[in-house]
Structures are given as structure tokens and as C-alpha cells.
A and B are shown apart, each in its own frame.
Chain A
């Protein structure tokens, strides 16, 4: 992993400060960015030691946490019921499928009209994007469950609620967690888009704001920060998934994966 990061940094350095490619003319190099980042007295006003930087990270993370929690707690049950009940699916699937293809950026004006302030529209957009992914993946997860598990459950004398808790939910789990990893990604995507358009704090706002003020060093710093934080959140989702699906982790381990 560290080798990978080093490789990435070296490439960045070569393109930028080494070979001085014209494409990278106006982009600050890694040395400049890192120097600023770890400086106690940053030229453009933001570094690891300034409160403004921490606030931006904190605000974005908090928004993601809220959006992801809402999307998961609505999307997973919704998807499970859609997969489980044909009638429920017939009513809800068309709605999901017509709303889902609308790009999240197309929702921005609507969100601004509907909600006041900065906070609610941004969280709404991130939640919405995340919700579609989670619901669809959960639904596909239920579809993926082998019919013989339902039959076995029936033979063993299960009532519908047992089937739901002991077959539908655990059977859909692998797809749910794949969905959650994608969902946390699109939550970040739409969050940053929303923050760039209407925001007061946050990493998206930090990128846009420093771009407007020609603080390109801060801009690159915010982008890299975003990369790290995004990676961290999806690693957390992966970790939670592995904890909850020991049966799968152990079976895959035996296959040498």
C-alpha cells in the first residue's frame, strides 16, 4: 500500500516539477502542496494546523454520516420488502426506476427550492443518491438468493417472519454491503457537488472557494483530503461488512481469497 502511495507521489512529482509538462503548468507540485499542508503558518490560510481545515473536514463527514445513515435505514428495509413481496414491488419499483436515472445534479435546483438554508438541501441530495443505490442493490440481493433456501425454510416449518429474518435478510447481505460501498461513494460525489454549488463549509466548498480565489495549493490539498476521507469511509463499510458476514469471509478464505 505504501509503495502504491509512493508511486503515485513520484508520478505526480515527475509530471509536475520534474518534466514540467505544459498540462500541469498552473497546478502546484507535490512539494509545494505538502509544505503548505504541514506548515504551522500556511501562506493561503489552510493547513493541518488551522481550525478552518478541520471544520471543513468535520462538516463534510458529519453530512455524510447523516445522509448515509438515513439512506441505509430507509433503503435496506425498502429493498428487502421490494424483493420479498411481489405486490409491494409492483407498486414501488416503477417509482424507483423513474427517479433513479435522474442525475443528482439535476436535483440541485429542486432541493434549493424545497429546502431552506445550506444544510438540508446538501444532505437531501447526498441521501437521495445513496438511497437509490442501496435500495436497488438490496433488492437485487434478495433476488439473488437461491430458491432452495426458501424451500428449505418452508420444509423446516418457518413462518413468513422467520423467512424474512433468517433467509431474506442474511441472504441479501453480500449484495447489501456491495451496495453500501458504492452508496457511500456516490454520497460523497453528490455531497461535494452540492457543496460546490451551495455551501458554507465542507470539502466541496473548500475546493470551489479556493479555486475562485486562485488558491490552487489549498484546492489540491482539499482534493487529496477528499480522496483519503472517501477511502476511509468505504474501508469502514467493508470492515463492518466483514464483521457481519463471518460465514462469507471464512468460506472465501478457504478458497484462498
Chain B
């Protein structure tokens, strides 16, 4: 397999703090968090529920403002002191927790949507391209179906295809495989790895699942319970391309054990504090 080399998609998160202010009660979701993500890195964010992982993702994507700090993408400021909320754009594609394919569009229409509204491709061209890349993802026969007619695994895969057709610098995934059974999950993992090996797109991936994090990631960032800071960073040196044999290797088990201690400690803190998830 020829691996593309990544030249774009460096994310720099510098001293980001986010304070929510619902009904006058200040809730600090993220506290002075800094993180450098290299171009083409798969960065896995792990932490207890409600710790502010999604807040960070929302800030990068431009869904929410930040209170202080700066976020850069390839040297350009997305948000900072003078601009608390980033512009939304197709250079950062989000794959949502519960899936956000438009249910009223077929898979093909969903995938072709981005290039059409951005004015990059004509309708015909976009549809042809969409059909091609759906076929690459093994979805050729389902392109005319609506999201409600295909399995959750297929619709999630189509959602990633919809993101990739825009050639994004970064893929932001918010627990995309959370609700899936273990078998479907493993298929999704392999297909994501395959996509990554082909595109070398920078991936910012939020999860609760430590095995998933180590299997997919170059680095696993363990966050503290709210307010979120980086507690521990585990470097995963397992070589790519990876497949399922990795899961039974000694190296993999040691890494899981290393990360598990840190995560468990924070999970207990979060549970005892009775944290609920913030938007």
C-alpha cells in the first residue's frame, strides 16, 4: 500500500478555556488546555463523560465559542481573543455522535451535497464523484437508498464518505461508534484505518473506549474530569497499516494497561461528582 504523506491539518490548541454560563452559574468545561496535533496524526481523546471533550471539538468546528485561548489550523487562527467563535468550514468535517446524514436525502445526494453547495462541482460531476467514492467504501448498491433504510454501520460509513469528498484538512469524530455492537464496531475500525492509510487526513477522535483509542490512534490523550485538562498522553508506536492481529499483541495490551490507570482514576472522580454531559 502506498501511503500518502500528510502536509496539512496541523491543529494547535493553546491555553483554551471554556466557561459555560447557564442561568448565571459558571461551569468551567475546559481549563487551560493545550495540545499540538501534527499533520496527519490520529489523535484520540479519552476521558470521562461530561469532561469537556465535545466542547473542545465544538470549538474547533465552530459550533461554540471559547472563553480564552487560541486554536490554530495550519498556522491560521480559527478562534482567539478577538474572535471567540470559529467560522464553520469544509476544511474541518465533523462526524456526529448520533449521525447527521440528512434523512431526506439519499446517500448519494448526501455525499454530493457539500461540493455542490460550495460551488466546487456541478451537479452531474458531484453525483458521479459521489457514486465513485461510495463505491470505494463498498456502498455502490446503496447509493440510492435513504439513511433510514440502511444499517447504522453503513450510514456512519456514508457519513465519513460525505466528509471526505470535501478533502478536509481535519476529520473531527465525536464518539461515532458509540451505539454500535462490538462486531459492527470492529468492521468500522478497519474501514476507518483503511481510509486513513489512503488519505492521511488528520483525525481528532473522541471516544470512551480505550481499546478503540489505542487500536486507531497515534497518540491517546487522556483528559481529566471537568474542567478538562490533559492528564496523560500515551504514544502508540504500533506500526501502520494495522489490522486485527494488533489487538492480541503484547505491545497493545501494555499500552491499554498504561492508559487504563489514568482513565479509571478520572472516571471515578467524574462518577462521584455526578457529572452530566454538556452540549
Give the interface of A toward B (CB within 8 A): 146, 148-149, 151-152, 154-159, 162, 166-167, 170-171, 173, 245-248, 250-251, 254
Give the interface of B toward A (CB within 8 A): 61-63, 88-90, 92-94, 96, 98, 100-106, 113-114, 117-118, 146-149, 162-163, 166
**Which residue of B88, B104, B105 contacts A155 across the interface (Cβ within 8 Å)?**
B88
The distance from the CB of A144 to the nearest CB of chain B, in whole angstroms, is 13
| Inter-subunit contact B102/A151 (CB<8 Å) | no
| Inter-subunit contact A246/B102 (CB<8 Å) | no
Interface centre among A156, A162, A166, A170 (most CB of B within 10 A): A156
| Inter-subunit contact B94/A166 (CB<8 Å) | no
| Inter-subunit contact B117/A156 (CB<8 Å) | yes
Could you give 7 example pairs across A and B, Cβ below 8 Å? A155-B163, A156-B90, A156-B117, A170-B102, A173-B104, A251-B103, A251-B149
B contact patch SS: loop
* Chain B residues in 8 Å Cβ range of A246: 146
Q: A157-B114, A159-B117 are in contact. Are A247 and B104 (CB under 8 A)?
A: yes
| Inter-subunit contact A167/B146 (CB<8 Å) | no
| 9 cross-chain pairs, A with B, having the tightest CB-CB distances, nearest first | A251-B148, A154-B88, A170-B104, A157-B118, A156-B114, A152-B100, A148-B100, A247-B146, A157-B90
Q: A162-B117, A170-B104, A247-B103 are in contact. Are A151 and B146 (CB under 8 A)?
A: no
| Inter-subunit contact A166/B113 (CB<8 Å) | yes
Q: A171-B104, A245-B104 are in contact. Are A155 and B93 (CB under 8 A)?
A: yes
Interface centre among A166, A170, A247 (most CB of B within 10 A): A247
Within the assembled complex, what's the spacing in Å between the Cα atoms of A248 and B149?
Answer: 9
The distance from the CB of B2 to the nearest CB of chain A, in whole angstroms, is 29
Q: A162-B117, A166-B113, A251-B146 are in contact. Are A152 and B104 (CB under 8 A)?
A: no
